[in-house]
Amino acid sequence: MPPPDAADGRDPLAARAVALAVLRRVERDRAYADVALDAALANSALDTRDRGLATRLVYGTVAWQGLLDWHLAHLAGRAPETLDLAVRLVLRLGCYQLLVLDRIPAHAAVATSVELAKRVAPAAAGLVNAVLRRAARERATLPLPDAADPVRHLAVAFSHPEWLVARWLELFGVAETRLLLAADNEAAPTVLRARPGERDRLIADLAAQGIVAEPSRYAPDAVEIDAVAPHALAGYGLGAFTVQSEASQLVALLLDPQPGTRVLDVCAAPGGKATYVAELVGSRGLVVAFDRRRRGAAAIATGARRLGIMRLAVGTADARRLPLAVHERFDRILVDAPCSGLGTLRAHPEVRWSRGPADVLRLAALQAEILHAATAHLAPGGALVYATCTLSAAENEGVVEPWLAAHPELERDHAAAHLAPAAAALVDASGALRTLPHRHRLDGFYALRVRRR
Ligand SMILES: C[S@@+](CC[C@H](N)C(=O)[O-])C[C@H]1O[C@@H](n2cnc3c(N)ncnc32)[C@H](O)[C@@H]1O
């Protein structure tokens, strides 16, 4: 029986069933939420509104999982991890609609969840009904952990793991940590990169398709749009734009690649920065791009073909052992290192649950090795950018400080000298680019530029 809010003729279960299938892939197979969602939407017949709803349900339920499980433990009288996966996910999805979203009527959230349960775990439909009805009744008075323990309180209230909250409290203090945690739970804007210098034309082309598009604040080719599934927009296949966050565009710009420059990018997949740099160095320049993953390297080549880029050579290689002659040197090197990704929780909410302190240590050691190997190929007078999309000090200052101490031939180069004037606000006291979701509405990136004397 369809739930009671099916008044507009749409199937109220359609978007929720897609969201549930994606949540199952994220939890059971450790899939990336965005990748699993893109695949599910590509195979679905959902209309635009339902695509938007499914997207919201997936990102929101994953982001708010910590808070939802806290409330579920209270409402169900048992730890959520003791429930079958399908039941746990239906309950999280229902609780997200009841406790976090404010536009879905309670009766619709409960009824659709019970119908979903009948499909995937029929024996638990009664339990789902009872728990969610209780959630609807008690939602204004559900308890949170005592604020006397700020780590636990903030971790639950803003749905982040405790270890991460403890780190952010040390780095940012209480007031700013609250803002950062809140910003992590907002949706990231969808940002495109126009072909260099063609931003106005792209905005006009998008407007002709009825897409609201605005120039971004800091990166000269960045355009923010109000649309889901940007890869499906006209012009993508023809190379009119690339989907790339503004912070990521800024890292490529920090390299300041001039026409004719030879550039090495050692961790290049899927190629957002490598293709941008290749567009900027033009037909007289060259970008040599490596990635350890063969499929990653293939994605760079596909992107280059779509954009009509000729001067981008791609290879599969471990950046700690680059397949380059010892004497080979480049004018610019980008080390966009594999990292914990903790600055991108808006776009990748699952990362907060899949990473732990041990990953940070392991990645910091890997980053140091990659940086050391890449430095050997920097030409005198050339510049290297070390970048991460994490806020963890161990992977940023913790990597670059010992590296600079070991390389007296390198000197810091102030980021503001290489970016548009508006981006000066994004440069910290050490001269590094440092973007933060809560201060700048950008993903949290760190990028240091150094020059070889
Ligand atoms: C932050 S991502 C790079 C993003 C890319 N620069 C872009 O803008 O699209 C880090 C990349 O490092 C790659 N990677 C991880 N370990 C590596 C290693 N030892 N050598 C080379 N690449 C590695 C990963 O496969 C991943 O594609």
Cα angle for residues 71, 117, 124 (degrees, 5° grid): 75
Of 253, 265, 292, the one to substitute when testing ligand 1's pocket (max ligand atoms within 8 A of C-beta) is: 292
- For residue 265, which atom of ligand 1 is closest to its CA? 6
Instruction: Classify 140 as helix, strand or coil.
Output: coil
- Distance from Cα 216 to the centre of ligand 1, integer Å: 26
Whether residue 451 contacts residue 411, with contact meaning beta carbons closer than 8 Å, is answered with: yes
The structure tokens 């889901």 sit at 228
Instruction: Classify 446 as helix, strand or coil.
Output: strand
How far, in Å, CA of 234 to CA of 321, rounded? 41
Whether residue 24 contacts residue 121, with contact meaning beta carbons closer than 8 Å, is answered with: no
Residue 5 is predicted with a pLDDT of 47
Q: What residues flank ligand 1, with Cβ below 6 Å?
A: 248, 267-273, 290-293, 296, 318-320, 336, 338, 370
Q: What pLDDT band is residue 8 in, cutting at 50, 70 and 90? A: low
- For residue 269, which atom of ligand 1 is closest to its CA? 27
pLDDT at 27 over 70: yes
Higher pLDDT, residue 155 or 5: 155
Residue nearest to atom 23 of ligand 1 (CA): 292
* Cβ burial 417-439 (10 Å sphere, 16+ → b, else e): ebbeeebeebbeeeebbbbbbbe
- Distance from Cα 32 to the centre of ligand 1, integer Å: 16
Strand-pair partners of 225: 190, 213
Among all residues, which ones are annotated catalytic? 389
pLDDT at 3 over 80: no
The domain covering 6-138 belongs, at the CATH homologous superfamily level, to NusB-like (1.10.940.10)
Q: How far is CA 99 from CA 87, 109, 137, 274, 436, in A?
A: 18, 10, 11, 42, 27
| Closest among 426, 388, 439, 441 to 186, alpha carbons compared | 441
pLDDT at 395 over 90: yes
- Distance from Cα 400 to the centre of ligand 1, integer Å: 18
Q: If you classify domain 246-452 with CATH, what class do you get? A: alpha beta
| Closest among 397, 395, 440, 446 to 422, alpha carbons compared | 440
pLDDT digits 0-9 by tens, 263-298: 999 999 999 999 999 999 999 999 999 999 999 999
The domains of the chain are located at 6-138, 150-184, 246-452
* Cβ burial 113-135 (10 Å sphere, 16+ → b, else e): bbbbbeebbeebbebbbebbbeb
- The rounded mean pLDDT for the chain is 96
The structure tokens 């605005």 sit at 214
- Distance from Cα 315 to the centre of ligand 1, integer Å: 12
- For residue 319, which atom of ligand 1 is closest to its CA? 20
Residue 4 is predicted with a pLDDT of 41
